[in-house]
Amino acid sequence: MRSPFLDRAERGPVLADGAVGTLLYERGVPYGGCFDVLNLKDRALVGSVHRDYLAAGAELITTNTFGANRVRLAEFGLQDAVRDINLQGAKVARDAREVSGRTAFVAGSVGPILRPLTEEHRESEGQLRAAFREQAEALLEGGADVIALETFSDLDEIRIAIEAARAVCELPIIAQMTFGDDGYTLEGHAPEEVAERLQFFGADLVGINCSVGPQNTLDTVQRMLAVGVRRVAAQPNAGLPSRQGQHFVYISGPAYFADYAKKFVDAGVGLVGGCCGTTPAHIAAMAAALNEARPLVRPSVQQSFPPPAPKTEASRGEVAPTRLAEAIRQGEFIVSVELDPPKGLNPTKVLDGAQMLAERGVRFVNVADSPMARVRMSALSMAKLIQDCADVETIIHFTTRDRNLMALQSELIGAHAMGVRNVLALTGDPPTLGDYPDATGVWDVDSIGLVGTLSRLNAGVDRAGRAVGAHANFCIGCAVDPTAEDLEEHIDRFWRKLEAGAHFVMSQPLYDIDALHTFLDRVGPLPVPFLLGVLPLQSFKHADYMHNEVPGIRVPEGVRRAMHDAGSSGMSEGIRLAQHFVDAAQDRVQGIYLMPSFGRYEQCAEVIDALDSSRRPGSAQSSNPVDQHVKAAPVRSADRS
């Protein structure tokens, strides 16, 4: 499976963050306590550290989970909280990335368990392996992009950690050891030996972190690079600490680190960052230096927008059909990928995802409308930004939860004027599920009423029958859940949406081909295209969670068993299962609607790459066409059950 992180590393040096513990300490967390439990008790504090590093220009942030293994947590009576602390640690980092809107990777931090100077406390290899495996599995479940093994001093222990991580996931592994000022590990291993053995153990990047300051670190990584190791990482401390009053002070400043960042890159280092004593100021200085010296290192992006397009017939009121409407009319097999708007002000990461998908041939992307009732950038704003910056057309999700009938119609008229005219009509998740459980849902109309409102706008009038100046040209979608518990009632509502004027339908994620056949046989021939929802699974735990905890999702036992048996190859198996499911279903559906987990758009691209050539994005569908011309769907016959 392709790794976006390794793809990025191939294009030039990656800038990592600095110390997490140092900043938590500076912000009032005392040494001697459990930093890792803050992922549960003070998510805002931990998130602020990640956001500061992202703002400084870091492309990789490490989770606050360095000591979150069973053995270390037992010192605080938290040995049973391993999964929660690591999973939430990854989620806090991912949330910070989403709020920042920046394109960055989340590295799940895993620290050593052994205390080299206290032989009596050394755990058995089996205990170590189980502890590392448990931690890596939880970080994977939380959505980490990389596993970062940090500050190890024992080669046998880091070997066990690499093997344990490989046993549960396919994520890239960064393996870093710590060295003394003599250039050797505490056990006397030279940098050359460490680099070769870490690479042999299966690490994707090898290197040094913590230890001493930049100067000795540079000497060490040069010795590693001399033996032909391909990717090397360097994350030194900010010199040696000294105690001043109640605080530890590190003497190496940002300017010094900026100078050494260029030296690391000139030597051939592929990942640079900081460890103890380094702060966002150090990372910002390094970012500025690297951006000047190595243009391939991406700076923090402030999105620029193209000048306004010249006036067209559509902008003068003569509205052409959308690309999606034309694709439906021509019988194309439609492929769309969902993008979630950011939780914060910066849309860069989502725009990068849209651009990547466009380069892979994707022509349509769905833009969600605050799913799970959680606050995100408005779907309409995000859709407009995407269409301005990438050669894709958006399908905007539009719920009736947040808007009364006046606001609903006003926004739709505005969306039409901005060229956002593919609309998936949804009722919306109740506010009780989200960030503001006391917020009031509106629901002047439901999704059926919204489809009807869009149809009336297409006829040139609003809900009250007043003219809106011209006939709109919305391409209207609706949703369906083929595995709904109350299937009879659900099918009845589905047909009412079609009768109200829907032009296409998108399903909830499905994993069971028999459930799809049963539903399609039950409803009979459809007058509109049916786009099959596909959400690639990441791991057995992801499959188990989807099946048992997400309403409307059913993952068959055979699929869950396959994900379980896949072990560390869960991501690849999830893609393979999605490809197999699409292949089995594509003669009965007119398109697919892909939903990535954790923003892993590249997995959706791999599913698309496996499509039959006649069903690749933009290809005319050679079989199973739908007689649909983007107009109100015909009313079902009286004898249709």
Q: What residue ranges define each of the domains in the chain, with the CATH number in brackets?
A: 4-293 (3.20.20.330), 325-615 (3.20.20.220)
With bands split at pLDDT 50, 70 and 90, how would you rate the model's confidence at 250?
Answer: low
Q: What share of the chain is helix, strand, coil (3-state, %, to 5)?
A: 45, 15, 40
State residue 374's pLDDT score: 84
- The answer to which of 204-208, 252-256, 549-553 has the lowest mean pLDDT is 549-553
- For residues 148-180, b (16+ Cβ closer than 10 Å) or e, as one string? bbbbbbbbebbbbbbbbbbebbbbbbbbbbbbe
CA distance 433 to 448: 22
Residue 312 pLDDT exceeds 70: no
217: phi then psi, degrees, rounded to nearest 5: -65, -40
CA distance 336 to 245: 59
Interval 359-384 mean pLDDT: 92
State residue 430's pLDDT score: 83
Q: What is the pLDDT of residues 600-624, one digit of tens each?
A: 999 999 999 888 776 777 555 444 4
247-250 and 530-534: which strand pairing? unpaired
Q: What is the pLDDT of residues 618-641, one digit of tens each?
A: 555 444 444 443 444 444 333 323
Q: 235 forms bridges with which residues in the sheet?
A: 209
Q: 310 forms bridges with which residues in the sheet?
A: none
- The answer to which of 131-140, 241-250, 298-307, 583-592 has the lowest mean pLDDT is 298-307
Residue 299 pLDDT exceeds 90: no
Size of the chain in residues: 641
Give the C-alpha distances (Å, rounded to integers) separating 153 from 122, 165, 278, 583: 13, 18, 21, 49
3-class DSSP state of 614: helix
Residue 42 pLDDT exceeds 80: yes
With bands split at pLDDT 50, 70 and 90, how would you rate the model's confidence at 13?
Answer: very high
State residue 112's pLDDT score: 96
Helices marked H in 471-568 — which ranges?
487-500, 513-523, 540-549, 557-566
Mean pLDDT of the chain: 88
3-class DSSP state of 376: coil
Question: Where does 278-431 show beta strands of DSSP type E?
Answer: 334-339, 364-367, 393-399, 422-426
Residue 230 pLDDT exceeds 90: no
Answer for the pair 186, 211: CB distance below 8 angstroms, yes or no.
no
State residue 248's pLDDT score: 53
Question: Largest Cα–Cα distance of the chain, in whole Å?
Answer: 87
State residue 300's pLDDT score: 38
State residue 485's pLDDT score: 86
CA 585 remoteness from chain centre: 26
With bands split at pLDDT 50, 70 and 90, how would you rate the model's confidence at 292?
Answer: confident
State residue 122's pLDDT score: 57
Hey, what are 510's tokens? 């499905």
Answer for the pair 550, 429: CB distance below 8 angstroms, yes or no.
no
Hey, what are 626's tokens? 């739908």
Q: 338 forms bridges with which residues in the sheet?
A: 366
Residue 436 pLDDT exceeds 90: no
Interval 584-602 mean pLDDT: 93
State residue 614's pLDDT score: 67
Q: What is the pLDDT of residues 23-32, one digit of tens each?
A: 999 899 988 8
- pLDDT > 70: what percent of the chain? 89
Q: What is the spatial order of strands in the sheet that 205-210 belongs to? A: 14-15, 271-272, 232-236, 205-210, 173-177, 146-152, 105-110, 60-62
State residue 247's pLDDT score: 52
Nearest to 370 by CA among 414, 421, 433: 433
- pLDDT > 90: what percent of the chain? 74
State residue 241's pLDDT score: 53
